Amino acid sequence: MSGQNFNLAVIGAQWGDEGKGKIVDLLCEDFDVVARYQGGHNAGHTVKFGDKHYTLKLIPSGIFHRDKLCILGNGMVIDPQALLEEIGTLQNVGVTIEENLKISDSAHVILPYHKALDLAREEAAGDGKIGTTGRGIGPAYETKVSRYGIRVADLLDRDVLREKIEFACAEKNSVLSGVYHKETFDPAKLYESYLEYAEQLAPRITSGTVLINEQIRAGKRVMFEGAQATMLDIDHGTYPFVTSSNCTVGGICTGLGVAPKHIHRVYGVAKAYTTRVGGGAFPTELNDAHGEHLRKRGNEFGTVTGRPRRTGWLDLAVLRTAIMLNGVDAVALTKLDVLDEFDEIPVCTEYNVRGERWRTFPAFAVAHHDFKPVYRTFKGWKSPTAGVTSYDDLPPLAKDYVRFIEEETECAVGIISTGPRREETVVR
Ligand code: GDP
Ligand code: IMO
Ligand code: MG
């Protein structure tokens, strides 16, 4: 990829945690800017190299390369306290965070009542809960769409901030106490603490859209880092078991103010199997020893909440849907090494929905749950791929597995990841 002048999007092709952080960190050497366009600290992106291990929630995964400009786009919802903590944690271990991190003034701010509403609603929903990360993401996006949200720029205007917090508290408090019988928030206290956050973040706040477009005009190469994933997209995912933003490629245009002509290539990141955290449809889910093996060997526990992830076989209907929706040019296939010990590896090629064949994910299936995955079973390679860095060194049966994915999805697998570290990667 070296030396090529294009902007690249890296987008989750399943239900999140595909290894986007690893892929962004790996590829960003060839880019000048890394920008997030949606989501908030519901994301947990892991980056490992050498003996270093980091988890990023709000800050783009390019931050470990000192010369990259990292931007938090207007499409994000930002909890200032969480952001300051993340900055502090990274700085404490020697990561440089100075002029290289900027925040869009039009991003929306998460306040404690958003988090309280998220938690209260989940509690009230009982078994029907979404299984959110409890970070206030949904309620913050709701407030944005209601047009009463507090934007990052508002943090810098004392009068506006006070007025907006007072107005919001009147409504949110009455819902929290009246509907959910929960504690309420004192607007004066919130105002004081948000003024303090504002002071600390002020030097980083800028017009994100102007900044990124200036960079593009100057010929800088931009990487767009997706959070969450295609099947968690508010419009295209397994609604209502989704997050509240557009994780798919269109989110880049709205979430950064970047025109479509500036998005040149799209990488779809997919595990060699499937996981999902929280509720909702998961056609290839395994509730058996194989699923447990995937969880254990793949260390499938949430980066943000520590919850055990649900596990299952690779689902090509999901992958085709992601490739279609995002215009994926190449797949980055991660965690191939996790499959090393299986005797047999089934792959879902399509669904049988009441006798009808479906090769992409049918939206109605979310409600009906009466679709059956059709599997093609592969012989396991039963030899280590962990740490392999050259395609030629992969076992022939593992190559067959990769080739089958390419044929069935009509999309190239450009990267194969064989371990969590930056070094443990095959780039084709
Ligand atoms: P993200 O949210 O898409 O960035 O993914 P997460 O960081 O939440 O989850 C991916 C997990 O898998 C992390 O613990 C990574 O360190 C790990 N990981 C990434 N790629 C590989 C791989 O190829 N093999 C193995 N064994 N682990 C990987
Ligand atoms: P990364 O970027 C996996 C899931 C939650 C829940 C649903 C809604 O690390 O891939 P939310 O808190 O967003 O309202 O929760 O979305 N979810 C994720 N699952 N990876 C993520 O991020 C996720 N972010 C949210 O588990 O099912
Ligand atoms: Mg994650």
Q: Are 297 and 275 in contact (CB under 8 A)?
A: no
CA 304 to ligand 2 centroid distance, Å: 9
Q: Tens of pLDDT along 333-378?
A: 999 999 999 999 999 999 998 899 999 998 776 655 678 999 999 9
d(CA 281, CA 242): 10
pTM: 0.97
Residues with CB under 6 A from ligand 1: 12, 16-22, 44-46, 48, 299, 303, 334-335, 337-338, 417-420
Residues 6+ apart with CB under 8 A from 22: 46, 47, 48, 61, 334, 417, 420, 422
Q: Which two tokens stand for residue 123?
A: 């509690």
Ligand 2 atom showing the smallest separation from residue 135 Cα: 12
- Which pLDDT does position 196 carry in this prediction? 98
String of DSSP letters for 269-290: EEESSEEE-SSS--TTB--SHH
Task: Note whether 373 and 315 are within 8 A (CB).
Answer: yes
Residue partners of 315: CB distance under 8 A and separation at least 6: 14, 274, 283, 284, 348, 373
User: Which residues 6+ apart lie within 8 Å of 215 measured at CB?
Assistant: 32, 33, 69, 222
Compute the half-sphere exposure of residue 99: CA atoms within 13 Å on the CB side of its CA. Answer: 2
Mean of all residue pLDDT scores within the chain: 96
CA atoms 390, 421, 227, 263: torsion sign: negative
**Helix, strand, coil abundance in the chain, percent, nearest 5:** 40, 20, 40
Strands (E), 158-219: 205-206
Instruction: Return phi, psi of residue 109, to 5°.
Output: -105, 135
Q: What are phi and psi of 15, to 5 degrees?
A: -115, 30
Residue 3 has pLDDT above 60, yes or no: no
Identify the pLDDT of residue 368: 59
pLDDT at 1: 43
Helix (H) or strand (E) holding 422: none
Distance 112 CA to ligand 3 centre (A): 23
Report the nearest-CA residue for atom 11 of ligand 2.
Answer: 132
In the residue annotation, 288 being an active-site residue is answered as: no
> At residue 154, what is the residue type?
D
How far is the centre of ligand 3, averaged over its atoms, from the C-alpha of 225 (Å)? 12
Q: What is the average pLDDT across 289-316?
A: 94
**Nearest-CA residue for atom 16 of ligand 1:** 420
Q: Residue 346 has what pLDDT?
A: 98
pLDDT over 90 at 264, yes or no: yes
CA dihedral 270, 273, 277, 278 (to 10 degrees): 110
Q: Whose Cα sits closest to atom 28 in ligand 1? A: 420
Asked whether the beta carbons of 256 and 224 are under 8 A apart, the reply is yes
pLDDT tens figures, 120-137:
999 999 999 999 999 999
pLDDT value at 305 more than 60: yes
Say which ligand is closest to the CA of 45: 1
Question: Ligand 1 center to residue 363 CA distance, Å?
Answer: 28
Supply the residue whose CA is at minimum distance from atom 15 of ligand 2: 132
> What are 307's strand-pairing partners?
none
By the CB criterion, residues less than 5 angstroms from ion ligand 3 are 17, 44, 303
Query: Where does ligand 2 bind, in terms of residues with CB under 6 Å?
Result: 12, 16-17, 42-45, 130-133, 135, 137-138, 227-229, 232, 241, 243-244, 277-278, 303
Question: Cα(224)–Cα(239) distance, rounded to whole angstroms?
Answer: 24
**Per-residue model confidence as pLDDT tens digits over 110-120:** 999 999 999 99
Q: What number does the ligand 1 atom closest to the CA of 43 have? A: 2
45 has catalytic annotation? yes
Whether the Cβ atoms of residue 326 and residue 268 lie closer than 8 Å to each other: yes
Tell me which of 25, 57, 334 to substitute to probe ligand 1's pocket, judged by most ligand atoms within 8 Å of the beta carbon: 334
Ligand 1 atom nearest residue 21's Cα: 4
Gap from CA of 360 to ligand 3 centroid (Å):
24
Q: What is the pLDDT of residues 43-93, one digit of tens each?
A: 999 999 999 999 999 999 999 999 999 999 999 999 999 999 999 999 999
Query: 11 alpha carbon to ligand 2 midpoint, in Å?
Result: 14
The confidence score (pLDDT) of residue 365 equals: 62
Check 41, 45, 114, 236 and give the catalytic one.
45
Could you count the other beta carbons within 10 Å of the beta carbon of residue 98?
Answer: 9
Longest dimension (CA), the chain: 66
Among 23, 77, 228, 241, say which to mutate for ligand 2: greatest number of ligand atoms within 8 Å of CB.
Answer: 228
Among the bound ligands, name the one nearest to the CA of residue 277: 2
Could you give the CA distance from residue 110 to residue 149 in angstroms, rounded to a whole number? 9
pLDDT at 4 over 80: no
Does residue 254 surpass a pLDDT of 50? yes
DSSP 94: T
Ligand 2 center to residue 188 CA distance, Å?
Answer: 32
